[in-house]
Amino acid sequence: MEFVVVTTDNDGGSALDGGYGWAVVGAAFMVNLLADGITFSFGLLLTELFNSLGDSREQLAWISSLLCGAPLLLGPVTSVLVDRFGCRRVCMAGGLLSGAGFAVVFAGPPSRLLVVLSAGLVSGLGLGLCYMPAVTSVSYYFRRRRALATGISVSGSGVGTLLFAYITGACLNTYGWRGSFLLLGGLLFNLCACGALLRPLAPRLKRTRLRLDKANQAESRHNVALRLDGSGNRGELSLARRHLFLLSRGSAAGSAVEKSVNNAECNQIDDIESSITDRTEGQIAKLAHLLRRPVYLLLLASNFLLYFWYNITYYFLPDHATELGFSSQQSELVIAIVGVSNAVGQIAIGVIADHPRVNATLLYSLCIGLAGLSNSLIPLCASLSALIVYGLSFGFLISANFALGSILLIDRFGLERFTSAYGVMLFVQGLASLFGPPAIGYMRDSDANYNRAFVYSGIFIAASALLIVPSYFRFCLLARLSCSCCCWGRHLSSSSIAISSAVARTPNSKQSSQSVEPELKSAESEHL
């Protein structure tokens, strides 16, 4: 009796590097547009809060630090939630939480504590549930053009910065800072619609023809149940991810085979439950392995320095421009220019990184180092044209962090360790973003200007770029060692073939040992 067994595998099929993957890129683009656009233009709201609430800049800077730091601190938790519930549900929950946090500021009294807890903490946690699902979905849908797809998706942050620089300014001029929080919260609810588009990879159907032997039906049914997985391993059968359809010419035989398959799957319930525990232990083992690698520790140190200082442009440049005598419209223009150059840079750097002769690590280090240099020159920018040049250069250069950050992790640690590595890195970035803005606000209150803060930011951002360079040389060394191992393996393979052929030509074991020994010595001498 012949059967056609149709199984589904979540290997992506034709969706990889195209198809619905571009819809996922569009959804991730909108997530970055809304989330980063509101976050990076928050400096305009922060300047209004400085004037309205009358508190020190160090105290009010906790709003921006929580709004930017809480999403990153939630990185390890988000990675677990994504593995458990999927990207779609986690992102939609984040949209609800972030929008509600901004809306509560409008409904409550004008208090610094309310703004810090609601707009800073609650909305920040909500945004944290949106970032990782967007990045993870794009990484799974694309392989060959992953850098380009990632660059397009994260370029939404630059476009959002451009748009919300004017949207936030218009809301402040028309409705005040409380009404602005309400309108921006309503826009954040659209993250739920973006999350709904982050569906899992569509399964690809696989057809297998199996034959049921009438002479030994019991054994054949057992073999059918084992062959469904392709590898014959029952432990890899999963009720949640595999669907079985049996098409047979005899309904009785078909039901018999289906019964055998169901029995085989039911026997795997205990294995599936134990696999959940093994998966958790495996994630802990992966994390422990990563934390023992010097390259990963250098990446964490580099990201800590970068995220401690680079937010000074988005949160404190509008206040710095106001102190220099520029109007609010001119401050909006500078932030908008940063957003435009950032969007262009993310796509351009993504395209450049995909070139086979370009090393992503060196490109990342070069761009971040030059971004630090541009920050250190801010005290010399006393005119609007100088600030515009700064906005163009900084926005383009800092985009390498968004376009290549995840690419560096995947290139070094693989896609299977990406969520663990990315989650811990987000946590480190969150710690830096949490304490960076208050420290910068303290420098401003102490010096009555931002000159020292911008100079320090340039120095430490450049230092973060230098910390990435050793990982490049280690990566090249490992690549050479891998190439040497491949050559060694090819020599051993040819030697083993020669030995095997020598064994095959000998009639008995005694003659084998006598005839193989000369060929073994000749093979070893040839390899050496």
Q: Structural domain boundaries of the chain?
A: 18-202, 283-493
Architecture of domain 18-202: Up-down Bundle (1.20)
> Which percentage of the chain shows pLDDT scores above 70?
70
In this predicted structure, what is the pLDDT of residue 283? 62
Low-confidence ranges of the chain (pLDDT < 70): 1-15, 17, 54-55, 202-283, 286, 471-528
Q: How many whole angstroms separate alpha carbon 154 and alpha carbon 139? A: 12
Helix (H, G, I), strand (E, B) or coil at 50: helix
Which residues neighbour 211 within 8 Å (Cβ) at sequence distance 6 or greater?
1, 2, 3, 220
In this predicted structure, what is the pLDDT of residue 236? 38
Q: How many whole angstroms separate alpha carbon 32 and alpha carbon 157? A: 5
Task: Tell me which DSSP letter residue 13 carries.
Answer: G
Q: What pTM did the predictor assign?
A: 0.64
Q: How many whole angstroms separate alpha carbon 156 and alpha carbon 189? A: 17
Top-level class of domain 283-493: mainly alpha
In this predicted structure, what is the pLDDT of residue 279? 53
Long-range residue pairs from 483-491, CB within 8 A, at least 24 positions apart, any chain: 491/527
In this predicted structure, what is the pLDDT of residue 211? 56
Same fold, 18-202 and 283-493: yes
Q: 383-410 burial, b for 16+ CB within 10 Å, e for fewer?
A: ebeebbebbbbbbbbbbbbbbbbbbbbb
